[in-house]
Amino acid sequence: MSSLINLLTQSAGTLLGLLVFAAVVWVLASDITQKKHTILRNYPLVGHLRYLFEKQGEYFRQYFFAGDREEMPFNRATRAWVYRTAKGEGGVIGFGSTNDLREPGSIIFANAPFPVLEEERLPTPSLLVGEGFCVKPFAARSVINISGMSFGAISAPAVQALSKGAALAGCWMCTGEGGLAPYHLAGGCDLIMQIGTAKYGIRDAEGNFSAERARVLAQQVSAFEIKLSQGAKPGKGGVLLASKVGSEIAAIRGIPIHTDSISPNRHPDIADVDQLLERIAFVRDLTGRPVGVKTAIGGEAFIDELCEAVLRRGLHYAPDFLTIDGGEGGSGAAPQTLADHMSLPLAEALPRVVDALMAAGLRQRVKVIASGKLVTPARVAWALCAGADFVNSARGFMFALGCIQAMRCHTNTCPTGIATHNHRLQRGLVIEEKHLRVANYARITNKEVDMIAHACGLRHAREFRRHHVRIVQTAGHSLLLGELYPYPAAARVTA
């Protein structure tokens, strides 16, 4: 009798073991083959913990962890908004906001007592970049666009998903300084080719600017952007560590494989504002495309000098656009000392640049693109109020691709396949799925910027002005942006 009981117990144990094993294999197989969740494809079984904590955290984190608004560089509330938006799940919340409007720097839009009716709203107009000054001006439709992230800093599937998503949403994508890769062409979106200080992808065998290459590229891109600096590391060129420089990236950049790719800290052939303006006019004449400049801002001197030189030399020498990157900008790899302390934050840089252009009467000639943590509609709308025409985002679109802010872009071990060339990790990033998220994020951000405009009593987002937004100074005291940064007197009529 006892041996029968033993046998039955053993069999039950074996059966249970088999069932557990089968369940584990089944979960493992479905995790690896599903296409929606990057983390589960890359980390089957254990990846469920992330989703469990994400979901259950809503109930428990108040007892253990920091609040929704406390993490840096992007807090949980912001990331969660982008994730939901990219999945098309809507940006509606219940109970109330966790945003503390007593914090200095908080943005408060001035709601109109009688907002515009639906039938009074207008689509946000496209703007022509380079109109009247180049053969092929570029009609830019979307307010939010994809900021430069080089193929090298980010992976081939990430570039492809961004390109296809941008094409669906009608926004542009900047190549970043790593040159034009075939992956940028995957979706057929408008491309801005960045000319970095090493001139990757647009240089000859000696590393100098290649006019021949520029002419070829002009057939594939809508505009060129000369990069002077980016907010995360002004005074330092691009850095791509050897671990990320495989044969394909080395070939596109024209550098040796598996060596650090370090660009000079400035263009060796552009040493002052006059040389910059000459280079702008030269590339525009050569390619027929609009040419702009990307820079971080250290103070008013540069922009004042630039305006003065344009007025002295003529409008043909003006950049068709200026991309102003705030000191809070991100990077694939940057020294922490520069990232923490160098260059003005966008909140200060953007109005100063716009004011200098207005005072010089160049505001219509030079389009302004702003970047630096502009990943939510409120931040984008603030930038339009301050005077930007467009906004670029890098990390907003990384979140749309599934970035979890692991902060390992420089190590080639990004767990979501975005900033790594490890094929196993890239497997989690399914282009057919993620490009839709990129498109959703861009479209819904534009839509919600319009929503803010309508609540302010405007017909569309291009009607934003500085008196539509207030900036909190101290708890209970806010000022209009127009009081903090009054429009220059001479330009007030056109402001």
Q: Which residues bind ligand FMN (CB under 6 A)?
A: 147-150, 153-154, 176-178, 194, 227, 230, 238, 294, 325, 329-332, 371-375, 393-396, 409, 419
Distance CA 21, CA 27 (A): 10
Q: How far is the CB of 244 from ligand FMN (least distance, A)?
A: 11
Burial letters 326-352, b for 16+ CB under 10 A, else e: bbbbbbbbbeeebbeebbbbbbbbbbb
Toward ligand FMN, which CB reaches closer, 73 or 486?
73
| CA gap 259, 242 in Å, rounded | 4
Using only C-alpha atoms, the chain has a radius of gyration, in whole angstroms, of: 25
User: Phi, psi (5° rounding) for residue 256?
Assistant: -70, 150
Nearest residue to ligand FMN, by Cβ distance, number only? 176
Intra-chain end-to-end CA distance of the chain, in Å: 96
Assign 389 to helix, strand or coil. coil
Task: Compute how many other C-beta atoms are within 10 angstroms of the C-beta atom of residue 473.
Answer: 13
Output the six-digit token pair for 150: 């080089």
Give me the least distance between CB of 221 and ligand FMN, in Å please: 15
Question: Quick one: 265 or 313, whose CB is closer to ligand FMN?
Answer: 265
In the bound state with ligand FMN, the residue whose beta carbon lies nearer, of 194 and 412, is: 194
Tell me the closest approach of the beta carbon of residue 152 to ligand FMN, in angstroms.
Answer: 8
The answer to whether the bond into 73 is cis (omega within 30° of 0) is yes
Q: For residue 298, what are its two tokens?
A: 């250290």
CA 135, distance to chain mean position in Å, is: 28
What's 422-469 look like in SS3?
CHHHHCCCCHHHHHHHHHHHHHHHHHHHHHHHHHCCCCCHHHCCHHHE
Minimum CB distance to ligand FMN, residue 110 (Å): 25
Considering the complex, state which of residue 236 and residue 284 has its C-beta at the smaller distance from ligand FMN: 236
Residue number, 342 or 480, with CB nearest to ligand FMN = 342
146 versus 480: smaller Cβ distance to ligand FMN: 146
Shortest Å distance, C-beta 328 to ligand FMN? 7
Nearer to ligand FMN, 440 or 445 (CB): 445
User: Running DSSP on this structure, what letter comes out for residue 158?
Assistant: H
Which helix (H) or strand (E) element contains residue 194? strand 190-195
Q: Output the smallest distance, CB 212 to ligand FMN, in A.
A: 23
Q: How far is the CB of 366 from ligand FMN (least distance, A)?
A: 18
Closest distance to ligand FMN from the beta carbon of 146 (Å): 9
Q: How far is CA 358 from CA 387, 467, 479, 490, in A?
A: 10, 17, 22, 8
Q: Which is nearer to ligand FMN, 367 or 373 (CB)?
A: 373
Distance CA 230, CA 350 (A): 14
